Amino acid sequence: MDIQKISNNAVQQIIDAFTQRLVEGQLRPGDQIPTEVELAERFGVARNTVREAIKILAAMGVLEIRRPVGTFVCSGFTEPMISPLLYGIILGRGDSYDELMDLREIMETGTMLTVIRNATDEEIATLKKPLSALKSACARKRLSVDEVFEKDNAFHEAVMELSHNRIVSQIAGIVRTMTHDMRMESVKLMLNAGKSDELYAAHEKLFRILTERDVNGVYSEIRETYFVPDRSGNVVSLASRD
């Protein structure tokens, strides 16, 4: 690593230097980085400063500390990378309901398209099980909001798994976590309005779109399958809000 000595805000500059070298390809996944002593000398900073930067990069999932062997650049996508993204979105979202709904639509549409591209017919057929569980929950005489919401979630989580793209699946999961309350409220409103059959039918439509690999259907019909409260407190499809 060709590193120039730095001074002010040393920890952040070390992090930035590592980032730049990753972008430029000077550091690659699996590479072992120099020792703390060597880095401190190259950067012209105290060893504790280097250690702090390495700890931060390790917490972010960029570096992996393997004692007593050394410190290495992580290979591929790692779980810790998700946390800064999650908190960054949460802290920056404010109170914008519409922006969250836009984000949800973008992610769920993208996930559906990815499943159509990556999943086999046999894998898509496995969605019959969570779909059937949702149907049973929606057909009960004494409907349970918690049960229907749980089965609804299970169906969508099963869809995410079929994307065969860990990053897509995990980011879609983050968006579902962020929209938990609004989705719960939508289910509650649907059930209270006697629309449990309509709620199930929407998921059946999603299953059909995937089974038929209907890319056009993803764009033309998916907004009809997601329900949100309008300003009057009634539940409507996303398409009805346009």
CA distance 117 to 140: 35
How confident is the model over 219-237, as pLDDT tens digits?
887 777 777 666 666 666 6
* Per-residue pLDDT at 70 exceeds 50: yes
Q: What is the pLDDT of residue 113?
A: 96
The verdict on residue 95 lying in a domain is: yes
DSSP 147: H
Same-domain check for residues 98 and 197: yes
CA distance 95 to 208: 35
* Per-residue pLDDT at 58 exceeds 50: yes
* Per-residue pLDDT at 241 exceeds 50: yes
How confident is the model over 115-158, as pLDDT tens digits?
999 999 999 999 999 999 999 999 999 999 999 999 999 999 99
Same-domain check for residues 118 and 237: yes
Q: What is the pLDDT of residue 7?
A: 47
Same-domain check for residues 228 and 122: yes
CA distance 86 to 63: 19
The verdict on residue 148 lying in a domain is: yes
Q: What is the pLDDT of residue 82?
A: 62
Domain count, the chain: 2
Backbone angles phi, psi at 164, to 5 degrees: 55, 30
How confident is the model over 161-220, as pLDDT tens digits?
999 998 888 788 878 887 888 888 889 989 998 999 999 999 999 999 999 999 999 988
* Boundary-marking domain end, from 23, 44, 76: 76
What distance, in Å, lies between the first and last C-alpha atoms of the chain?
A: 54
CA distance 90 to 84: 10
* Boundary-marking domain end, from 76, 99, 133: 76
The verdict on residue 134 lying in a domain is: yes
CA distance 48 to 64: 18
Amino acid at 238: L
Residue 15 domain boundaries: 10-76
Q: pTM for this structure?
A: 0.67
Structure tokens at 45: 């900073």
The verdict on residue 237 lying in a domain is: yes
**pLDDT tier at 112 (50, 70, 90 boundaries)?**
very high
Same-domain check for residues 137 and 211: yes
The verdict on residue 61 lying in a domain is: yes
Q: What is the pLDDT of residue 102?
A: 81
The verdict on residue 3 lying in a domain is: no
Same-domain check for residues 93 and 71: no
How confident is the model over 5-57, as pLDDT tens digits?
454 588 988 999 888 888 888 999 899 999 999 999 988 899 999 999 999 88
Q: What is the pLDDT of residue 75?
A: 83
* Boundary-marking domain end, from 61, 76, 91: 76
* Per-residue pLDDT at 93 exceeds 80: no
Same-domain check for residues 196 and 132: yes
Same-domain check for residues 28 and 112: no
Using DSSP, state whether 104 is helix, strand or coil. Answer: helix
